[in-house]
Copies of this chain bind each other. A is one copy, B any other.
Amino acid sequence: MSDINRVLRLAARPKGMVQDSDFDLREEPRPELTKEGQVLVRNLYLSVDPTQRGWIERDSYLPAVAIGEVMRSFGAGRVVASNDPDFAPGDLVSGMVGWQDHVVLPTKGGGRPTKLPPGVPLTNALSILGLTGLTAYFGLLDIGRPKEGETVVVSGAAGATGMAVGQIAKLKGCRVVGIAGGKDKCDWITGELGFDAAIDYKAEDVAKRLEETCPKRIDIYFDNVGGDILDAALLHLAMRGRVVLCGAISGYNDASALKGPKNYLSLLVQRGRMEGFIILDYFDRVGEAFQELGAWFQAGKLKDRVDVVDGLENAPAALRRLFTGKNTGKQLLKIAEG
């Protein structure tokens, strides 16, 4: 094990798209256990998520990452040292590990790592069976509350959360339409994932295509993007339709340019509901979700796809991929061999 810890610290608040220069790559001494109830983890994969763009701009559901702080990131790795009998060297864990090679985490309290279930590949544990799978699961089922036969539309449909939302909605008996950018992504969600229809927002008129693909209008719109697509979906909402607010990636690089949904009064006319959620609130219910997601995954009913970039130094580039639509499936950054 190297004595060096490569770390990416926030150097500047980004303006628009994240730049490499917004972070300082440093070599620091590897951290050590300093008190009881700690583990030292060798990070292997980092989760790359749109919400990280918000974390470096302003306080929201979590305080903003401070200038000089290690960039906050979810990820997974292997325990290399522990002074808590609940964790042994070799255990695979996930948690808020940061953009760095090693991290010391407390074994109790909110910042503690989660032991990964045996037999699940690390990449899937960060994707369909990780935070994004859970986000899709609770957002769709707890906030959206789908009923069999309803029409579910999801944007960012070929992304980590969207692909899970669509598949779960199909498993719950819904008609599913995905909105994604480009023919390849659209072909993939209908061909591989079993979505009923796809809309290529880069090439098609989304409002017109929503009318064509949702003849009974939209019962649940699961929004990952915001902007004009949210407005188009609102206009086509069914009576008592629900809009699940998961994200608004179209506005993350320039919050001042993010427009409000001018068609929000559809919620009034259609007796609709628009509701937001944060997956952090569901940690006490993770068990029920894992049981169902895990069973579907093992049975081959729930597919996963990850898009892996290599090397800690490429973390800012990996984050940019989310905002240029380069990733298909879950974007991960591999920083060491398992």
Report A's interface with B, CB cutoff 8 A: 60-61, 226, 231, 245-248, 251, 258-278, 281
Contact = CB atoms under 8 A, between A and B. Distances in A.
A270 to B, nearest CB: 7
A269 to B, nearest CB: 5
Query: Interface SS of chain A: helix, strand, loop or mixed?
Result: loop
Contacts of A276: 265-273
Contacts of A263: 260
Contact of A275 (B245, B267, B277): B267
A274 to B, nearest CB: 5
A338 to B, nearest CB: 34
Contacts of A248: 265, 268
Contacts of A264: 245, 260-261, 264, 274
Contact of A260 (B245, B247, B260, B268): B260
A213 B251 CA distance: 31
Given A259-B260, A260-B263, A262-B259, A246 B274 contact: no
Contact of A274 (B259, B270, B274): B274
Nearest to A260: B260
Given A262-B259, A264-B261, A272 B275 contact: yes
B231 A260 contact: yes
A60, A260, A268, A272, most chain B CB atoms within 10 A: A268
A271 B278 contact: yes
Contacts of A247: 268
Contacts of A246: 268
Contacts of A274: 264, 267, 273-275
Contacts of A226: 265
A173 to B, nearest CB: 25
Contacts of A262: 258-260
A273 B265 CA distance: 14
A161 to B, nearest CB: 13
A245 B267 contact: yes
Contacts of A245: 264-265, 267-268
A273 B271 contact: no
A271 B277 contact: yes
A193 to B, nearest CB: 25
12 contacts: A61-B269, A245-B264, A259-B262, A261-B264, A265-B276, A268-B276, A268-B277, A271-B277, A271-B281, A273-B276, A274-B274, A275-B275
Nearest to A59: B269
Contacts of A268: 61, 245-248, 276-278
Contacts of A269: 60-61, 276, 278
A248 B266 CA distance: 12
A233 to B, nearest CB: 13
A61, A259, A271, most chain B CB atoms within 10 A: A271
A231 B251 CA distance: 17
